Amino acid sequence: MTSTDTTPCPCGNPAGYQGCCGRLHEGQLAITAEQLMRARYSAYVLKREDFLLASWHASSRPVSLGLDAKQPLPTWLGLDIRQHHDVDENHASVEFVARYRLGGGRAQRQHETSRFVREDAQWYYLDGQMKS
């Protein structure tokens, strides 16, 4: 067993990184939009810009996220999935709260409902709406 076999998954799944988001980061397709949401959160934690861009729908994908920039990036503290809703077999939404800290500041929350679309059996992040 390697050290990555027991590494906790950043998304909070007790299965561990390799049993959860690591599989998706290495190319396995997400079965649900929630699974992709968790893998995207973990990719932000691990600064996996390659995965984030590849899992973003082409119609709304930015050119870059700047995760390798020198500016202070958030320290991600945890993910709480509030709701997963399948609109139909190819559209879904996931409401989540991600907690983070910038520098030595207070913890903050990003509360968002994200929309996902499935094309050719692959889920993609489409866009999100921030909640207060």
Q: pLDDT 10s per residue in the chain (132 long)?
A: 344 467 899 999 998 999 999 999 999 999 999 999 999 999 999 999 999 999 999 999 999 998 877 677 899 999 999 999 999 999 999 999 999 999 888 999 999 999 999 999 999 999 999 997
SS3 label, residue 122: strand
Structure tokens at 56: 């973003």
Taking a C-beta distance cutoff of 8 angstroms, is the pair 76, 98 a contact?
yes
Q: Which residue has the tokens 């050119």?
A: 63
Task: Break the chain into its structural domains and give their ranges.
Answer: 3-130
Q: Which CATH architecture has domain 3-130?
A: Roll (3.10)
pTM above 0.85, yes or no: yes
DSSP string, 57-107: -TTT--S---TTSSSPPPEEEEEEEEEEEEEETTEEEEEEEEEEE-TTS-E
